[in-house]
């Protein structure tokens, strides 16, 4: 798969009338921050741009400047000249956005997931970037585009949340260079950090308490996991966005190589989130066995079956990799 250049992407957008910017369902900070920054930039150029996400902007991310620009897809399909898919490794992860697009002349795919196979007409996939927000920052600098304070805040949130506050694999001098550019553009780092990391709803603490109490350790203590049932979701009153980051508490335990979170979904599906802290235990490859993907140290999948069945087969696959990593 050949990679499009930033110039080719800019040229394609320059000639477009109606542009749609979208990202994956159940969006995280990188998906929404990137969507908003790109939308704000296109609007500054006088473009007719629409921003959609299948799940909209959850309460958790309403601190992002311009969050009201991202809407759920229209009930009646619309035609667009260009669809820009951001931070979306597989096309169907756009969810109901695809149903709401009557037609599009060009699909631009900008992403950092190693599992992205290049489903766009123009693809810019950079697995060495720890966040799509970093790619967009580099895009704007390459095009000599003015980065406003609101664009910068969205990109900084995208990078910070997807790198675990600049801790995860792939965080390098490019990442800090991008962050430096964004701070210079007007990011209020302390204020934005409080919004990102110190403004959690009480119900998330209840979920964390449940996760820690229900945690299981297997594979000689190297594998940690917990499961969240639909009944427990109702009991705790938690929302899908409350789950983000919970798994990192299990991964942080000394001796744990990988952690897995199993979330029961309606209609007999289970959402699996897997994290590793050893590159020899590639959770992206493991999730790929079940139709999922992501990064070598952070990946996910949706698997048909009961929570007990999915937990058994998935943990067996992870433990196999842990025991064969030498």
Q: Summarize pLDDT for 70-88 with one digit per residue, the tens.
A: 999 999 999 999 999 999 9
For residue 325, what pLDDT is reported? Answer: 84
Q: What is the mean pLDDT of residues 142-169?
A: 95
Which has more confidence, 108 or 243? 108
| Mean pLDDT lowest among 40-49, 121-130, 291-300 | 291-300
Q: What value does the mean pLDDT take over residues 206-217? A: 95
The structural domains of the chain, ordered by start, are 6-197 (3.90.1640.10), 203-323 (3.10.310.30)
Which residues have C-beta within 8 Å of that of residue 211, sequence separation ≥ 6? 226, 228, 246, 249, 250, 261
Backbone angles phi, psi at 13, to 5 degrees: -75, -35
- Structure token pair of residue 129: 């970037």
Alpha carbons 304 and 145: distance in angstroms, whole number = 45
Instruction: Please report, for residues 139, 151, 192, 196, 222, the alpha-carbon distance to residue 187 in angstroms, rounded to integers and kept in the order given.
Output: 18, 9, 8, 13, 39
pLDDT tens digits along 15-55: 899 999 999 999 999 999 999 999 999 999 999 999 999 99
Q: Is the pLDDT of residue 1 over 80?
A: no
Q: Are 106 and 81 in contact (CB under 8 A)?
A: yes
Task: Judge whether 258 and 242 are in contact, CB under 8 Å.
Answer: no
Residue 301 has pLDDT above 70, yes or no: yes
The model's confidence at residue 241, banded by pLDDT at 50, 70 and 90, is confident
Contact criterion met (CB below 8 Å) for 257 and 322? yes
pTM of the model: 0.89
What does the alpha-carbon distance between residue 28 and residue 161 come to, in Å, rounded to a whole number? 8
Dist CA 93 CA 302 (whole Å): 11
Burial class (CB in 10 A: 0-12, 13-18, 19+), 246: buried
């Amino acid at each position: 798969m050949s990679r499009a250049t930033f110039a080719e992407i800019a040229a394609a957008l320059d000639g477009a009338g109606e542009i749609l910017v979208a990202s994956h369902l159940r969006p995280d900070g990188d998906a929404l921050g990137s969507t908003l920054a790109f939308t704000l930039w296109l609007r500054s150029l006088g473009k007719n741009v629409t921003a959609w996400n299948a799940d909209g902007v959850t309460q958790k991310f309403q601190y992002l400047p311009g969050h009201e620009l991202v809407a759920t897809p229209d009930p009646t399909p619309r035609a667009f000249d260009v669809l820009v898919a951001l931070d979306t490794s597989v096309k169907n992860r756009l969810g109901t956005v695809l149903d709401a697009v009557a037609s599009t002349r060009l699909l631009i795919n900008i992403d950092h997931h190693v599992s992205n196979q290049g489903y766009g007409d123009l693809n810019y996939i950079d697995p060495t970037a720890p966040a799509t927000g970093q790619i967009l920052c580099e895009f704007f600098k390459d095009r000599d585009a003015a980065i406003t304070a609101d664009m910068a805040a969205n990109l900084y949130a995208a990078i910070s949340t997807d790198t675990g506050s600049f801790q995860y694999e792939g965080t390098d001098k490019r990442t800090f260079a991008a962050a430096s550019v964004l701070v210079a553009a007007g990011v209020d780092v302390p204020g934005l950090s409080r919004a990102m990391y110190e403004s959690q709803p009480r119900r998330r603490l209840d979920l964390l308490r449940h996760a820690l109490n229900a945690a299981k350790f297997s594979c000689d203590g190297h594998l940690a996991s917990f499961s969240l049932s639909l009944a427990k979701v109702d009991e705790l009153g938690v929302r899908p966005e409350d789950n983000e980051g919970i798994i990192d508490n299990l991964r942080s335990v000394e001796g744990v190589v990988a952690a897995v979170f199993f979330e029961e979904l309606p209609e007999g599906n289970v959402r699996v989130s897997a994290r590793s802290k050893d590159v020899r235990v590639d959770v992206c490859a493991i999730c790929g066995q079940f139709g999922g993907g992501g990064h070598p140290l952070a990946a996910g999948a949706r698997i048909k079956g009961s929570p007990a069945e999915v937990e058994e087969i998935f943990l067996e696959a992870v433990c196999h990799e842990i025991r064969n990593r030498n």
